[in-house]
A = this chain, B = another copy of it.
Amino acid sequence: MTAAASAAQLEQARAARARYRAGAAEPTSGVAHGLVQANLIAVPADWAFETLLFAQRNPKPCPVLEVLEAGSTESRLAPGSDIPGYRIWRDGELAEETTDASAAWAEHPDLVSFLIGCSFTFEAGLADAGIPIRHRELGRNVPMYRTSTACAPAGRLHGELVVSMRPIPASRLADAVVISGRYPAVHGAPVHIGDPAALGIADLDAPAFGEPSEVRAGEVPVFWACGVTPQAAIMASRPPFAVTHAPGHMFVTDVPDAAYAA
């Protein structure tokens, strides 16, 4: 699949990464429209096999776009890799949120970084089709929820599926499924349409990550597998150390969404 990013897109992505490198913290939904964004999880080398295996066994929430060499922080998906929010985890507890994670790599030079597809990619397709992206309209981070659905475990790694939610007008549900289904490398079609309780979600207004959205009359909550799932696995599995992106604060790449269309 060949597809080229426009000069304007690349300039937006570079400018965004430069802002993040300078310390800016902001959700990245809508930034550099049409370019792939990615979730980050970095673990010590002796957890790398289980992390990759967890992703292989749970491809819907954890579609792997790239695995960096141990210790490397330079992705092939964009030069000058940086993101607007890192989380540092110790023994499964959130120890710090920071815009500069260089101390983490100094402490653990063998960290293996995984870049995982993000639903912000297919949001571009939804928006292009005239489907409203409520959390963008509201200027908020997308709401994400823990579910009662267990992921397939891999060695020491286990945890529950995390989903993102977007309210979709009932008349556009089929379109939302078809459009997101074109991007299996970035979570693909929804995992559930409709009843939050079926996923074990008690209250849509109390997301575990991100910010609440608004489901309006004639709209249905639609749930997609979410790249924050590895963070839930870290919280459940308690590896001694890990680094992730802050939810909604993604790695903005130079790769066009079309490169990941099936």
Contact = CB atoms under 8 A, between A and B. Distances in A.
Interface of A: 48-49, 52-53, 56-57, 64, 67, 184, 262
Contact of A184 (B49, B53, B67, B262): B262
Contact of A262 (B48, B53, B57, B262): B262
A46 to B, nearest CB: 9
A191 B48 CA distance: 30
B48 A56 contact: no
Identical chains bound together, number: 2
A56 B67 contact: yes
A56 B49 contact: no
A52 B64 CA distance: 12
A204 to B, nearest CB: 28
Contacts of A48: 49
A27 to B, nearest CB: 28
A262 B49 CA distance: 27
Contacts of A67: 53, 56-57
Contacts of A262: 184, 262
Nearest to A64: B56
Contacts of A53: 52, 67
A16 to B, nearest CB: 27
A224 to B, nearest CB: 17
Nearest to A48: B49
Contacts of A184: 262
Given A52-B52, A53-B67, 5 more contacts: A48-B49, A52-B53, A56-B64, A56-B67, A184-B262
Residue picked from A49, A56, A67, most chain B C-beta under 10 Å: A49
A178 to B, nearest CB: 13
A184 B184 CA distance: 11
13 contacts: A48-B49, A49-B49, A49-B52, A52-B52, A52-B53, A52-B56, A53-B67, A56-B56, A56-B64, A56-B67, A57-B67, A184-B262, A262-B262
A56 B64 CA distance: 8
A176 B5 CA distance: 31
A183 to B, nearest CB: 12
A29 to B, nearest CB: 27
A77 to B, nearest CB: 13
Contacts of A49: 48-49, 52
